[in-house]
Amino acid sequence: MAHMKAVRIHAFGGPDVLQIEELSIPEPRKGEFLVKVQAAGVNPVDYKIREGKYPPVKEGDLPLIMGRDISGLIAASGSGTSDELKEGDAIYAMLAGKGGGYAEYALVAKEAARKPAAIDYVAAAATPLAGLTAWQGLFRYGKLEPGQRVLIHGGAGGVGHFAIQFAKAKGAFVITTAAKDDLDFVRSIGADEAINYKEQRFEEAVHDVDMVFDLIAGETQQRSFSVLKRGGVLVSTLTEPDQEKARAHGVRGLRYTVQENAADLDEIAQLIDDRKVKPKVGRIFTLNEAAKAQVCIAEGDIQGKVVLRISD
């Protein structure tokens, strides 16, 4: 039986629990594709899973191959797969379930979408989870419309840099908070206004926005209610907004969890191929360096995404 290299955890803990192992290449079942993975995205949820701090992944789910983002080539297919994709096609996907991306091969099903042609596999692997998080937060939950004003907290990060570009591509006025060293970057990808959050309180500079996209939580979220118009919305990927405070300001506050969605990825791919959106890859590691990659992302201060290059 053919084997592949993969990164698994058998227990929760620090970076040292990530083990590089030789495993059997999985067989695609009905409705599944086997993908030869070219690159895998690294996300904050990965180290939270590893640490046992992500409630959907419990001890009973271990051992677990890490990773939710992949790009690669369809190597084989099970029965009943879509006619839209076939062996040899390049795809990208946010994996359904709890993991499987840090490996030379992975299984995907209806969550797979055709890879954007304008970018390489590394940039494609940087896109699905962060891109879908930004897309769904802005448009499915925030209902952002052309001409509206949005404040995006943490605009230089993995999700934030997609959110800036998506909002701008759809005709919104985009304001973002970022560190001093990231101000030029966020302006270069479409921010109309960029606020150095360490030197200026954003609520003193921003007023009457239709939406706040909160990627920071904590005190930042609490201070964000005052910048919204009545009838506006605060959308968070992290913590449930204070509903009492939301009512007092005449706004809505909601938290959501990103869902894998091939149709959304198709729309994102079109924007990338139209050169309206460009993924930013901040650091690239090998599969053997998965622990270093997770430490890097946990320490922060990365523009864009961290990616594992798995195949040359």
**Are the CB atoms for 77 and 84 separated by under 8 Å?**
no
- Residue written as tokens 């894998």? 260
Question: Does residue 265 belong to any structural domain of this protein?
Answer: no
Half-sphere exposure of 218 (CA within 13 A, CB side): 4
Are 165 and 216 within one domain?
Answer: yes
Q: Tens digits of per-residue pLDDT, 282-296?
A: 999 999 999 999 999
Q: Which of 9, 105, 125, 25 is nearest to 57 (CA)?
A: 9
Q: Tens digits of per-residue pLDDT, 158-185?
A: 999 999 999 999 999 999 999 999 999 9
Residue 172 lies in a domain: yes
Q: Regarding predicted confidence, which is higher, 83 or 232?
A: 232
> Residue length, the chain?
312
Residue 119: which domain range? 3-127+279-309
Residue with tokens 């060293």: 181
Give the model confidence (pLDDT) of 185-207 as tens digits.
Answer: 999 999 999 999 988 999 999 99
Report if residue 138 sits inside a domain: yes
Question: pLDDT at residue 104 above 90?
Answer: yes
Whether residue 121 sits in one domain with residue 137? no
Q: Are 304 and 279 in contact (CB under 8 A)?
A: yes
Residue 1 has pLDDT above 80, yes or no: no
C-beta separation of 8 from 64 below 8 A? yes
- Which class for 192: exposed (0-12), middle (13-18), buried (19 or more C-beta within 10 A)? middle
Q: Does residue 271 fall inside a structural domain?
A: no
pLDDT in tens, 21-78: 999 999 999 999 999 999 999 999 999 999 999 999 999 999 999 999 999 999 999 9
pTM value > 0.85: yes
